[in-house]
Structure 1
């Protein structure tokens, strides 16, 4: 059982996230509970405060996001699927551009080794990327800094962009729609937990997000319920998610962070530029809001982008489907790129040491 002393950092983390989210909400920022919480916990972590999000609380956050995403699915999602192949093709183009351009930039400008540069440029699948890095490809610490900066900056950019981009933005009030009764939420939560455990058993990425969302989505489209989550529960979900995003900076040394932060910020800016350009062009080809397209194509964490989709009133089925496809594509692309990098490094080593071709694999 956890002790009081071990729970104090957890309570502190949640309190900081709630305070930051409350301030951002009072200032009228879209998705204030999420963005404000993430920024506040990040600052606290970098200041050296004891920030901690245990795995069980992380899974609770994932479960809440999955349920909320499923409850926010638009009833006409099935009719809109016919336009998805175009956006999926745009997603494939975007992934190629992001990995190739940001990886090249990190190698040429910041002189990172190819393993660190290209693993840092992959837009997603952070646990998979870090697992490969831990096996000896690239510098795991620099990779995690660049990747976490990407997640944080994307979480901040979307709500700020919602204030200045008039293209299809439709921030909605969660109080304006019918909400579920608490007994319905209890039944749905039980079913979602079972769905998450099944997805864990099947080794599906982001299982405790996608499993609950799949259950909640199927139940909603089947007509088993029609309401959405109550706004207090949604606010708690955003506070948890903000704390989770910010807690990823815990334990990073300031000097190490600053060394990798410049490359991470430029790589994130390039990523945002590529996503924005492709989403803007795509908005003329499909009948969807620009913001929804941006969130679907955005290479942020599924839980973060899903939470933003809920807060901004977009179709979470579209957003989740494209993030799942992105993760599946990366599952195949990351090992292929790593093999390519290893072979290039081996060939370079062979040329420098005048080895025979048959000795390269050794």
Structure 2
């Protein structure tokens, strides 16, 4: 019990005007995300700033702490997520397709099987809605997927649980062998140049304007998809080649982590367990599909099975690359396939979201017609 006549922190917070209270809660939420991201990054956890922030805010929300992400801050996060996705596309991504046609065709088949089968499983076995199931099944682009989910497609909390479990299993457990071998980690390509302030502002304006247009056109997750479309087209068209400043990427991850974690307020234990089991089974199915496809490719090309498996695996590039170096594999092959996978997902995710929205509208129309 508090001391009579003395107000505690919650009392003082409640006494503030609504706008002041929202600002303080937002700043606190972002601070929790930043601290969690910093700790995870310092521990070299995969996608540390994003996952650490999301886990920290999630823990705070599930512990009963008030968290908040106002719509305006959320929209800024959406634009930054889309802009980061488009800016991360390699300018030579399209030219890589001609170098390994069989394995890249297998990569396309693998993605189709992973998304369709794990999405189907989550709908039929775990009774998730279509949006939640299929956004949970995409093997990559977590920040992009969560941006779309937070914009109203699927259940962001269950998607976050399933995707975080998938990432943890694939980026920590699969490359475990690299940790016991005497090698250095194979890091992703380090950017050598960054956008200037003027270029950055111009790109941000184009992304925000395109996102606003997508929202006006009723495109699902308009700010995310619009910003991603603008940044990707500009990158592939050669309007810019430099990377986003690291501090902006970090800010994007902190905002995304806060956005993900804030969705966990009031989550129930049975809801968490259900999504966790779905994540484990979906990851198991993903590994089985990758193994089967890699074996088939190994029968058609003169290449080690392990190299093919590492190239097709939807794990983190640094982990797969580390194993590739340890085993003497062609790391260019591994890196190229991961780049192409992310490029394919950049186009596949919006397409699937549109199909989901159309399906939901048809179901709503059929329901209304049936009732009448």
TM-score, length-normalised on structure 1?
A: 0.70
Q: How does 1:168-317 map to 2 (within 5 A)?
A: 171-172=187-188, 174=190, 176-252=191-267, 257-282=268-293, 285=297, 290=310, 294=314, 314=339, 316-317=342-343
> Displacement of 1:74 after TM fit?
1.0
Partner of 2:172: 160
Q: Is the 8 A contact 2:22 2:68 kept in 1?
A: no
Count of matched residue pairs: 300
Q: 2-side partners of 1:295 and 1:163: how far apart?
A: 9
Aligned equivalent of 1:322: 348
CA distance in 2, matches of 1:72, 1:104: 35
The residue number in structure 1 matching 2:118 is 98
In 2, the alpha carbon distance for the partners of 1:27 and 1:120 equals 33
Structure 1 distance, partners of 2:152, 2:252, is 25
Name structure 2 gaps, 5 residues minimum. Answer: 1-16, 136-147, 179-184, 302-306, 317-337
Question: What is the RMSD computed on CA atoms of the aligned residues?
Answer: 3.6
Identify the residue that residue 86 of structure 2 maps to in structure 1. 70
Distance (Å, rounded) in 1 between the aligned partners of 2:273 and 2:355: 28
**Of the candidates 20, 35, 57, which is equivalent to residue 51 of structure 2?**
35
Task: Report how far residue 291 of structure 1 moved.
Answer: 6.8
2:294 and 2:286 map into 1 onto residues whose CA distance is 12
CA 1:60–1:209: 2 relative to 1, 3 Å: same
- Return closer, same or farther for 1:189/1:282 CA change in 2, 3 Å cut-off: farther
Q: What residue is the counterpart of 2:10 in the other structure? A: none
CA distance in 2, matches of 1:267, 1:38: 19
TM (norm. structure 2) is 0.68
Displacement of 1:66 after TM fit? 1.3
Partner-residue secondary structure (3-state), 2:51: helix
Cα 1:19–1:26 shift into 2, 3 Å: same
The 1:149–1:339 alpha-carbon spacing in structure 2 relative to 1, beyond 3 Å, is farther
Given that 1:99 and 1:118 are in contact with CA atoms closer than 8 Å, whether structure 2 keeps it comes out as no
1:148–1:249 CA contact under 8 A, matched in 2: no
Partner SS, residue 241 of structure 2: coil
Counterpart position of 1:133: none
SS in structure 2 at match of 1:208: helix
Q: CA deviation at 1:159?
A: 4.3
Residue in structure 1 matched with residue 4 of structure 2 by the alignment: none
Say whether the 8 Å CA contact 1:45–1:251 is kept in structure 2.
yes
Q: CA deviation at 1:73?
A: 0.9
| Contact 1:102 1:267 survives alignment (8 Å) | yes
2:72 is aligned to 56
Contact 1:20–1:36 under 8 Å retained in 2 = yes
Structure-1 residue corresponding to 2:329: none
- How far apart are the structure 2 equivalents of 1:55 and 1:249? 17
Change in Cα spacing, 1:182 to 1:288, as seen in structure 2 (3 Å) is farther
**Structure 2 CA distance for partners of 1:144 and 1:325, relative to 1, 3 Å:** closer
CA distance in 2, matches of 1:62, 1:20: 20
Q: Deviations over 1:238-276 (max 9, x none)?
A: 111111111110133xxxx11222221111111112223
